[in-house]
Amino acid sequence: MIIPKNAYRLTENMLRDQWVMVPRAEQRLFEAQARAAQITAPATDAVSVKGSGGGSRAERAALAILEAEKRLETARAWREAIRLTNKAFPWESTAEGVLAGYLYGNGLNLAEAARAADCSYKTAQRLRDNYVGHCAIFAASMGLIRFEEERE
């Protein structure tokens, strides 16, 4: 399966971060909401008047919350794409799933995962590429990534 390099890298990064991406996004949303709660009235201090042109403090806080909500929604969508991939390749019963468990569950590098899965390095590369490719297809079907031609 051939997918663009940027889509492959993004998908593999999401697989590596799958355990922390939703809690991290939730924490950012909580922090944005806490900052917004500290704003009780429209500010007229020098910072908001001479600020970066982004509006009042309340407006910037609201935009930060919206951005954090969007990131959380994206993280949850990636988690769903990964869940669908894990369903297609269960970690316990398929070669791709076993290797993925070592790579993305246990945090092993490819050589260590190949040894743990009792396969050659080349086979591990093929299994990993197949797993990441399927995850990328699920992500693309959810609108998280696009397969576009790379321009060089």
CA quadruple 19, 22, 28, 31: dihedral positive or negative?
A: negative
Report the sign of the C-alpha dihedral through residues 34, 65, 9, 12, in that order. positive
> Is 111 inside a domain boundary?
yes
138 exposed, middle or buried (CB, 10 Å; 0-12, 13-18, 19+)?
Answer: buried
63-91: pLDDT as tens digits: 999 999 999 999 999 999 999 999 999 98
pTM: 0.80
Let me know if residue 149 belongs to a domain.
Answer: no
Query: Residue 88: which domain range?
Result: 5-141
Q: Is residue 151 part of a domain?
A: no
Total domain count, the chain: 1
Domain assignment present for residue 150? The answer is no
Q: What pLDDT is attached to residue 141?
A: 95
Low-confidence ranges of the chain (pLDDT < 50): 46, 48-51
So what's the pLDDT on residue 28?
95
Indicate whether 56 belongs to any domain.
yes
Please report whether residue 78 resides in a domain. Answer: yes
pLDDT at res. 38: 87
Question: Does any domain span residue 147?
Answer: no
State the Cα–Cα distance between residues 12 and 128, nearest whole angstrom. Answer: 9
DSSP letter for 38, please. Answer: T
User: In the prediction, which pLDDT does 123 show?
Assistant: 96
